[in-house]
Amino acid sequence: MIASAVRVALQQRVLPEYRAPFFNALGAACSGGLEVFAGLPRTREAIATVDELTTARFIKARNMHIFNGKTYFCIQRGFIRWLERYQPQVLIVESNPRYLSTPAAIQWMHRRHRPVIGWGLGAPGTGKTESLLRRQFLGSLDAVIAYSKSGAEQYIKAGFAPERVFVAPNAVSSRPSAPAITRPLEFRNGKPSLLFVGRLQERKKLDVLLHACNSLPVNLRPELVIVGDGPDRQRLEELARTIYPSTKFAGARHGSELDAYFSSADLFVLPGTGGLAVQQAMAHALPVLVGEADGTQEDLVRPENGWVLPAVNADSLAAQLVTALADVAHLRQMGAASYRIVHDEVNLEVMVQGFVKAIKAVL
């Protein structure tokens, strides 16, 4: 818990739906108050957002989106007016130099001798211009919070003192309260069940998963269940009818509706980027097979509970599926390890502790 006199301010470009549980949990730990400043995404981003929080106050920014891709920048109008009204003792900002309103906010805080903490994935090596922008931005921060251990190492390599770098493992769910699910040592109906949960977009690489399932030995060909909706659904359904007709498309499901799908699966597969459902799958004692993404998954997916594919194509994915599905007993052991990781190490409670530790340190 943070002292009652301390007001905490937190900036985000947008307030995605999946982050609301974390901000509410952090708000409960900030007895002096937490306000979250965020705007709206671009329409084509298809990010589900929320309009309010329960234990924190949501302040709406007016986002101006400039250019796209590697030339994208964002201006958030109202940032300084918000700080002047709220008068926070600590400001937490996204560690992204492309948000052009943030440097002025950092200066505003520093003129009043108040600390600013950055929060981000890390500081990967990129082009010279990007690296220069990032170094200049990071140099203006008093501390930084990384999503993962590898992200923390990148910040230290970029010049941050180790004692000013903190880790708050990227989590979307609370510590599971129910006991771990126990599955039998044989597949239901003699056939393994693979599960994907997420938005149906090309970057999820579900077409690769369909081709991989089709190339498996007959005795290991699974029931493939795809839960979610999105712009790529029609194409995927047409492809599945052609190459893997046993695929089941369940449509969008949320909250407790997902429990039955997680409970009946044998392996969770995420071949592309993203991965908010990985932690949910692990809380249901499922081993996980994921494509290499931004580094946040490495604290979740380890040799004892899953596989990370450095290069995702149908052949490599099929080969890994054969390894995973050939030994049911080992698969169950890996599921138990998944549950232990999210119960003990990667959950909202641990994530909040990382933020509280950083806030207390800069104060």
Same fold for the domain at 8-172+347-362 and the one at 188-344? yes
Q: What is the pLDDT of residues 62-108, one digit of tens each?
A: 999 999 888 999 999 999 999 999 999 999 999 999 999 999 999 99
Chain position carrying tokens 């002025």:
104
Q: Where are the domains of the chain?
A: 8-172+347-362, 188-344
Q: DSSP per residue over 221-234, as a string?
A: PPEEEEE---TTHH
Closest by CA to 225, choosing from 258, 256, 180, is 258
**188-344 CATH pick, 3.40.50.2000, 3.40.50.1820, 3.10.620.30, 3.40.50.450:** 3.40.50.2000
Gap between the Cα atoms of 276 and 108, Å rounded = 34
**What is this structure's pTM?**
0.89
Rg (CA), the chain: 22
Gap between the Cα atoms of 165 and 148, Å rounded = 11
In this predicted structure, the answer to whether residue 127 has a pLDDT above a threshold of 60 is no
Q: How many CA atoms lie within 13 A of 211 on its CB side?
A: 11
Q: What is the pLDDT of residues 245-289, one digit of tens each?
A: 999 999 999 888 999 999 999 999 999 887 779 999 999 999 999
Q: What is the pLDDT of residues 150-207, one digit of tens each?
A: 899 999 998 899 999 999 999 989 999 999 999 999 998 899 999 999 989 998 999 9
* CATH superfamily of domain region 8-172+347-362: Glycogen Phosphorylase B; (3.40.50.2000)
Q: How far, in Å, are 12, 40, 265 from residue 108 at the CA level? A: 17, 24, 51
CB neighbourhood size of 1 (10 A)? 10
